[in-house]
Structure 1
């Protein structure tokens, strides 16, 4: 009989014994148990533990300490610098609130800059003149602007055919519609008014006035006799008064074009940014008396940006203001929100008509309604050119006018501001005069007659296809690429439903671009007058839109990164390659992986960049308001009854009345609710946005957490904007 074996022997013989091979049971890291003594922590539960809030609190304490010291010195008869002052100057010792805050609002034509406690800003043309072999009027063979047609013999066409058949048809159609409207309003019309204007302008000749007899002669910018000692650049008003035949030659550059950076007239990205910041720096030094950059450290800066901004534009400005200008702190503010601050309104539909762009946005309780933002590429400069084309069509006596020449451009702006109107009662044959002043020439006095051109030119806002829309998209994305998300490598510049509707309208009513890059000119059917003058039915309730082809797709959670790390600029990356021909047809068909989604969004962004956003002003206002109220009747009445017209592009008499009439015709359900308000306190509409920025900058630090400080920026960079901006960055 075999003896009984022990359990240990059985485990060893059967192979069931437990052995330790020193391997972990799992590859997942093991988390130790929580130490109960430290369970109740206060991590990130107090304001002092947030860098932004801690910096804000430290700044408030420092400001209170500084004010207390200044007040003590004022009582003892000593100023801030330690000098003894008399009793009359003691009240001025304490630093004025807002005197250390600079407010900057750049535009396509003018730059507004000033200290926050100033009543009005300084206005400086957003232009810089640099030495060149030719000036802007001598390039391209000296072709005049606006462009004019020539005969087969090389001579200029007759004025009636100077700008092509399309322009002639649209001009005559607008004139006919205006006559019909005036007859309906019982206005008296002379049957031969047009002939009287043409016949007078055809035979009039200028009168020459010697320069010493001209009391309003212009002081031109003086240059050194030795061309080698001439300055490399000249900014602002002085740049516009440089003689055309100066030695050396100077060429004008406008770094902002149609509300965004001018990539058409530059060959290098750094040159655009250099001119942009040089104009701002020179304006601060000459207009505000801050002589050196070392003094910038004592100042804060409020910078006003467009509603539909580009992220690269904002981040580059922030980096330069912080690292190069070394401002103490910087904050950004959107134009429409700044307009409500300047006007003192809590809810409004802001219509900002500038020189080369028109933006519309609804603002409610201190926030821009994101889906209501619209940016269109026309403005007051287009009205100036259109007015000159209409006058040349009617045999304007100064046929040699060329808007590329500086003095001719200034003359055209002056004529538009003096004579254009939106009042039908003023439409009759009128006799006017103007003086042409050019460097090195005697003054010439012209007399001319006008009829309906003075009103038809501002009416171009309601028929934007009559504007010269050729080459407005030239150079787009040539130098500065769009911004891309670091996680899924897709474009992340903001857009809106209202802007998408504008693009769809333009794509539907305008012909397709030539070779998929530029819009067609008038000779290719750009005008489409019947499509633009048609008034679509717009109601007060939201309606479904077919915008899936152009609207970005938003997902609840971000996808995994398509790349491990950002690549150098210019390196081909997934999702950034050009979609190629036919990409516009495939915008809605891409789905699946993260790379496909990024490629889809990139194709959508490139398709948007190829469409020139144009829509009649009245239709665009109602579309923006509709996207702003989204069916809320209270908000609808606030926006329709709170339309505020700002900017200098539409400062024509009775223009608000004309706009109100057209809006009520488009929306008959709100006959009394549609109102266009006046800017309060008799403030110039051009300065309302800057004024709002100054009001915002003077808010107490405890109530304004939008400031980006130097120490924060050194730690976190532009990522701070996600917490500092008053909108969804």
Structure 2
């Protein structure tokens, strides 16, 4: 009888015994478990782990290697000359190094493009240019009708109709509100002039109206007009006409061209033009086309692939919108293919151009006005203001006042291209802010229309020349209709990636402007008190506020306490206590507070208000927020106010603004000083000049350049590390 076998024997016989032959079951590397009690990582905790910083260090190293190689090559060449017996002249090595440095700077500046985009004009030029080229920021595209034929041919400024017809008397064309405001401003000016011992004739208005009523134009044949206009010629065959035209050629297109062209202005009031565009892709494409044609016509860059060798300084508004910045950056790098792009704020660029270290920059553009305090190379975030009126509003108001006083060219329409250019010319020629110039004066102008003989008009003016730019201080005289109508219909606001809350920067001063425009009460100076300004507004969402225990305790006290009731049921679950309230109960406010929804509501409410404030009060608001109670700094800002932009070229505007500010701040009579840009620089090009100065600084010490490689990898996320301002 065979004995019973053990378990080990059975496993050995059946081949089931586990044996260890020191062979791994797989060749895949095995990773041990992480000890959670002692866990540590250095991921993204060192600068060299960021692509932006790593690329910059790599460029610096490659530049050092290249310079060392060039130096060794020069030494080797000199030693070879000594061996060959070639006499070496003793020269000043310092002078050679200086000349080489100057040559390298000139070569760098020749590949530097500076772009300053406005609502009406584009300033563009190279770093080697003393002044920029000015290109109208407009594109003309084939369309079924031109801009003056739209809306049933309604003219601008709009004439009111009574019983379906425009009244025969021009003083009834613009409504009773405009007439009363115009009469009030005229009487206030007369009182002001009498107080200043100025001579005021009682019948000045009648003299102007009677003269303008009976004047008739003088016809001049085209061959006798020495300043006739060269209109843009189109091919005889409409099929051969170009699809689009940009710049000055677009403005000089005949109104009755075949085929018809319509003008599109991609930027209006400092925002993307959502009124004339129904597609944001078309809007972006038009901006890219305008830039491309400007590179070809103004800079001589014929091929887009050559732009990879160029760097670009792009100037953005002080109080920007994130969508605007990221869109422009995408156009410059991805659509046009520029090698590197650097972003610079307008007010900071203006201080670079003027050479100021501390200043309050007042930039009056065509359709927007910005105010910002700059201190030691930094735009003070809480002082930034962007109000939506400018020189174009003065032009329209000036023509309304002239038509009210029987302007002889009654058919003027600012929607027509030649009439728009004529009105701009008359404003620059006639308007003034000096009281001694307010007398009855006679002027003339020439009306030039394609295919017609030139007509010469004479006309007289009185106080219209001063009351129109006076709208900067009484903006209610401006026509603000339509500026907010298409807002957020094509391009939505930028939102936070994680919680969806609006993240466009906002300043305390801009909040005060919006509250003023909404009709909130103000202080004696017109500015809002600190209690009226929303304390929860951060100028930039990414900026961290300093910790304050007291404010933190206050926030906790303001936070609703947890309810004694149980947690709410899931959505969709019927709740008898909630769905069937008892008789006599009223709706009670919810105790739950969602900060994201609250931010969205606040942003939507702000979008419903057009930011408008008188210019003098806006400057006071900006300086008060920039100084933050520091009297010494406030005196510095008041002494460094600088007027720039095309709208600031009105004669005597700086003196008039000085007087208004001294009336608002009697304690700063000696400190308040408003000056033009230094060195007789044109105020329209000062911002561009500052961008040129900044762009020509040593690239090794400037880490704000965004390259194509970095942008392709990180996109707009790169702006957090590249912008010199809080993004």
Task: Name the TM-score, length of structure 1 as normaliser.
Answer: 0.81
Contact 2:393 2:478 in 1 (8 A): yes
Q: Which residue of 1 aligns with 2:641?
A: 643
Partner Cα separation in structure 2 for residue 652 and residue 227 of structure 1 = 43
Q: Which residue of 1 aligns with 2:524?
A: 536
Contact 1:70 1:93 in 2 (8 A): no
Q: Which residue of 1 aligns with 2:36?
A: 31
Task: For residue 97 of structure 1, report the CA deviation from its aligned partner.
Answer: 3.5
Partner Cα separation in structure 1 for residue 506 and residue 492 of structure 2 = 16
Task: For residue 44 of structure 1, report the CA deviation from its aligned partner.
Answer: 5.7
Partner Cα separation in structure 2 for residue 624 and residue 153 of structure 1 = 46
2:217 to 206, 209, 217: 206
Q: Which residue of 2 aligns with 1:285?
A: 296
CA shift digits 1:205-240 (9 cap, x unpaired): 000000000000000001011000000000000000
1:168 to 133, 155, 179: 179
Q: Which residue of 2 aligns with 1:336?
A: 347
Partner Cα separation in structure 2 for residue 386 and residue 535 of structure 1 = 29
Q: Which residue of 2 aligns with 1:346?
A: 357
Contact 1:355 1:648 in 2 (8 A): yes
Task: For residue 155 of structure 1, report the CA deviation from its aligned partner.
Answer: 4.0
Partner Cα separation in structure 2 for residue 96 and residue 497 of structure 1 = 43
Partner Cα separation in structure 1 for residue 380 and residue 68 of structure 2 = 41
Q: Which residue of 1 aligns with 2:606?
A: 608
Q: Which residue of 2 aligns with 1:52?
A: 52
Task: For residue 312 of structure 1, report the CA deviation from its aligned partner.
Answer: 1.2
Partner Cα separation in structure 2 for residue 220 and residue 66 of structure 1 = 53
CA shift digits 1:93-126 (9 cap, x unpaired): 8653311111111000000111122111110000
SS of the residue corresponding to residue 508 of structure 1 reads coil
CA shift digits 1:481-501 (9 cap, x unpaired): 001111221000011111111
Q: Which residue of 1 aligns with 2:197?
A: 186
Q: Which residue of 2 aligns with 1:655?
A: 653
Task: For residue 635 of structure 1, report the CA deviation from its aligned partner.
Answer: 1.2
Which stretch shifts more, 633-642 or 395-404? 633-642
Partner Cα separation in structure 1 for residue 44 and residue 607 of structure 2 = 46
Ranges in structure 1 where 5+ consecutive residues have no aligned partner: 1-27, 77-89, 510-530, 558-588
Q: 1:429 to 1:697 in 2, by over 3 A?
A: same
Contact 1:419 1:454 in 2 (8 A): yes
Alignment of 1:113-512 (within 5 A): 113-152=124-163, 154-508=165-519
SS of the residue corresponding to residue 649 of structure 2 reads coil
Aligned pair 1:546/2:557, yes or no? Answer: no
- Work out the number of aligned pairs and report it: 626
Q: 1:93 to 1:30 in 2, by over 3 A?
A: closer
Contact 1:263 1:479 in 2 (8 A): yes
SS of the residue corresponding to residue 518 of structure 2 reads helix
Contact 1:353 1:379 in 2 (8 A): yes
Partner Cα separation in structure 2 for residue 682 and residue 605 of structure 1 = 42
Q: Which residue of 1 aligns with 2:619?
A: 621
Task: For residue 324 of structure 1, report the CA deviation from its aligned partner.
Answer: 2.0
The higher radius of gyration belongs to 2
Partner Cα separation in structure 2 for residue 285 and residue 153 of structure 1 = 49
Which stretch shifts more, 145-154 or 127-136? 145-154
Q: 1:612 to 1:48 in 2, by over 3 A?
A: closer
CA shift digits 1:2-44 (9 cap, x unpaired): xxxxxxxxxxxxxxxxxxxxxxxxxx97437589xxx9x9996
SS of the residue corresponding to residue 356 of structure 1 reads coil
CA shift digits 1:521-560 (9 cap, x unpaired): xxxxxxxxxx9xx993369xx9423233994698979xxx
Contact 2:333 2:708 in 1 (8 A): yes
Contact 2:166 2:173 in 1 (8 A): no
Task: For residue 263 of structure 1, report the CA deviation from its aligned partner.
Answer: 0.2
Q: Which residue of 2 aligns with 1:676?
A: 674
Task: Name the TM-score, length of structure 2 as normaliser.
Answer: 0.82
SS of the residue corresponding to residue 263 of structure 2 reads strand
SS of the residue corresponding to residue 504 of structure 1 reads helix
SS of the residue corresponding to residue 130 of structure 1 reads strand
SS of the residue corresponding to residue 480 of structure 1 reads coil
Which stretch shifts more, 105-114 or 674-683? 674-683
Contact 2:391 2:647 in 1 (8 A): yes
CA shift digits 1:631-670 (9 cap, x unpaired): 0122111111110111101211111000000000011110
Partner Cα separation in structure 1 for residue 649 and residue 590 of structure 2 = 47
Contact 1:150 1:157 in 2 (8 A): no
CA shift digits 1:415-459 (9 cap, x unpaired): 000010011111100010000000000000000000010011111
Task: For residue 159 of structure 1, report the CA deviation from its aligned partner.
Answer: 1.0
CA shift digits 1:442-478 (9 cap, x unpaired): 0000000000100111111000010011111121000
Q: 1:590 to 1:96 in 2, by over 3 A?
A: farther
2:722 to 689, 703, 724: 724
Task: For residue 340 of structure 1, report the CA deviation from its aligned partner.
Answer: 0.8
Partner Cα separation in structure 1 for residue 39 and residue 206 of structure 2 = 95
SS of the residue corresponding to residue 660 of structure 1 reads helix
Ranges in structure 2 where 5+ consecutive residues have no aligned partner: 1-32, 78-98, 548-588
Contact 2:347 2:374 in 1 (8 A): yes
Contact 1:535 1:666 in 2 (8 A): no
Aligned pair 1:689/2:694, yes or no? Answer: no
Q: 1:70 to 1:252 in 2, by over 3 A?
A: farther
Partner Cα separation in structure 1 for residue 414 and residue 69 of structure 2 = 57
Contact 1:148 1:157 in 2 (8 A): no
1:104 to 93, 110, 115: 115
SS of the residue corresponding to residue 234 of structure 1 reads strand
